[in-house]
Amino acid sequence: MLLDGLGVRAVAHEWAMRWVGAKIVKIYQPYPRELRLLLRARSGHTTMLLSCDPQLPRLYTTDSEPAENPTQPPRFCQLLRKYLEGGELLGVQQDGVERMVSLLIGHTDALGDDHVWRLVIEVMGRRSNAILVDEQDGRIIDALVRVSGTQWTDRQLVPGATFTPAPPLSGPSLLEATTEEIEPVVAQAVALREKGTDAIAKHFAHALPGWSPYTAAQFVQMHPDSSEWIQALRALQAQVRQHRYVPSVAFQQAQAIGLSPIGIAPQPQVEIVTFPTMNEAAARYFEAAARQRAIAQKAGELLGLVKTARTRLQRKIEKLDESLHDAEEAQRLQRMGELILAHLPEIPTGAQRVVLIDDYTGESIEIPLDPTLRPTQMAQQYFKRYAKAKRTLRYAQEQREKAQQELVYLESVAIALQEGSPTAIDEIRDELEEEGYLKRSKQKRRPQPARPAFVQLESGAQLMWGRNNRQNEQLSLHIAKPNDLWFHLRGYPGAHVLLRGPATPEDRRMAAMLCAYLSGVHIGKADVDLTQARYVRKSPAQRTGLVLYDHEETLTVEVDPASVLRLLEQAEQEHTQANGSPSTTKDRPPTEPVPNVRP
């Protein structure tokens, strides 16, 4: 989802009201298409994030830091440092609801002359860019992405060219449209009612540019009566002109799915969070979206590997089941040999088959014979076939058990990949290398495994959980104390959750909900096993993170995703306060809980 014109307008207004007069202390370019300007004012400091990523263009202020910065600043970053570092933010400009913001920055050059520069940020999908312009003569100093006339026919973005703004929106924008211009647009929208909200929203976004189809869809859902649309649109125009916004983000199953400056209509199974400023909403949405994309990119390859391995194991189990079915005839082969020996006088020489009565069951059993063999030899043949079938049965049972354990392990890896963070996914890659699913990298320096996540509950109890199999094993077999309460989704692979301290029934319910959620049950009822950590032990399978347990009781809980998401957010905040930004520091062991190494 892109930041639409209304969102850009809200962000730019907040910048103008809050940060004009601030000094530009430092400029970074941590990624090829991302700039960060560290601002410092009397009232505080912040970082302007200006991303021209074609898939996720965005701009907002944030206190978070990038995961890393290049040792050598890129060309455009060096240029901006030369012209803008130490300068003062003189103004923030945005025309109507265009997705373009200009930062006017005053700076004193080496000769002591004052000069004004314009840093233009365009967040327009694949055309997103950052351009440094000399405000005096409109000459382009340079652009983050240089564009020649052979690439775009409407403008050039190269050093020395005269800066030309991006083509304006066609037709009346949402902000400027008059009642006479709105009326035919609404009439056409009414005619689309049978096609549903999406069709109406796309029509509004196209006919009155400046808002995204998603924001327009929220407007339609919040005003279901089409007779109110003209009046509601006029009211929305007044609201935006007065900079009265309702910055909101929608979450579904821990995924950020929507951002709107005018509010979000209630939806089933969707949590809607409203923020005091558009910057905060944009930061929350885009940082979650960027994290989701990073996870998807990191996890995609590994999920494909795990899927292939699971398919292979499922086929192996099917073949072993066939072998087990055939081997189950072993007892019948043994009984045939015994019957032949018990009824030797009754079996004629050279017979191809014989029907004998089982003295124990009274059942008549037809036994195939080899006419070239004597009955005693035929009995020995059945005993040999029985011994072979018995060995096959034992081998097939062992192999099937191993394959089933490996399948459970891979399913737990798949869940961890879907629920994990980028750091946790890196650990999963290392784990898969150790388990032999990936070729071990000889040159890569292996980081120290991260500690399991934790949070302090209001009751004083501590809640801890693993984010992958390595952390699950560390938590359950090394950190856990004998009396800690241990949770696991009943009958399925998933996260290990530990509850330490005097826990209330509500604490147990929350731990069970968290366990179910992290194991893939994001909504509905779930059965979660609860036992003391003393009854948890390493599985004989020796697979990372696989354990056995007993003395359990089962809790049935209704998973409340909103409560779990708040808990996960609290854990992230506590981690940030203890260790700094999670994006700039490695996961460190918390001062609490104190590790307790179990023998």
**Phi and psi dihedrals of 493, rounded to 5?**
-70, 155
94 vs 121: CA distance, rounded Å:
10
The DSSP output letter for 445 is P
Judge contact between 99 and 52, C-beta under 8 A: no
For residue 589, the model assigns a pLDDT of 34
Half-sphere exposure of 249 (CA within 13 A, CB side): 22
For residue 446, the model assigns a pLDDT of 55
Half-sphere exposure of 418 (CA within 13 A, CB side): 19
460 vs 502: CA distance, rounded Å:
7
Buried b (16+ CB within 10 A) or exposed e, 336-373: bbbbbeeeeeebeeeeeebebeeeeeeeeeebebeeee
Q: Where are the beta strands (DSSP E) in 216-282?
A: 248-252, 255-260, 271-274
Half-sphere exposure of 161 (CA within 13 A, CB side): 16
Tell how many helices (H) and how many strands (E) occur in the chain.
Answer: 13, 22
Query: How would you write the pLDDT of the chain (599 residues) with one tens digit per residue?
Result: 679 999 999 999 999 999 999 999 999 999 999 999 999 998 899 999 999 999 899 999 998 777 677 888 999 999 999 999 999 999 999 988 999 999 999 998 777 788 999 999 999 988 999 999 999 999 999 999 999 876 666 788 999 999 999 888 777 899 999 999 999 999 999 999 999 999 999 999 999 999 999 999 999 999 999 999 999 999 999 999 999 999 999 988 667 899 999 999 998 888 899 999 999 999 999 988 887 787 777 777 788 888 888 888 888 888 888 777 766 677 788 888 888 888 888 888 888 888 888 777 778 888 888 888 888 888 898 889 888 888 877 888 888 888 888 888 888 787 777 666 666 777 777 778 777 788 776 655 555 556 788 898 989 899 999 888 888 888 999 999 999 999 999 988 888 999 999 889 999 999 999 999 888 887 789 999 999 999 999 887 667 888 899 999 999 999 887 788 788 877 776 665 555 443 333 333 333 343 443 33
**Phi and psi dihedrals of 488, rounded to 5?**
-155, 140
281 vs 11: CA distance, rounded Å:
10
For residue 170, the model assigns a pLDDT of 78
Judge contact between 88 and 23, C-beta under 8 A: yes
* Beta pairing, strands 34-41 & 23-31: antiparallel
For residue 1, the model assigns a pLDDT of 66
107 vs 449: CA distance, rounded Å:
46
The token pair at 384 is 């040999």
For residue 582, the model assigns a pLDDT of 37
Half-sphere exposure of 363 (CA within 13 A, CB side): 9
- The secondary structure of 349-398, three-state, reads CCCCEEEEECCCCCCEEEEECCCCCCHHHHHHHHHHHHHHHHHHHHHHHH
Measured on CA atoms in the order 235, 237, 241, 246, is the torsion positive or negative?
positive
For residue 152, the model assigns a pLDDT of 67
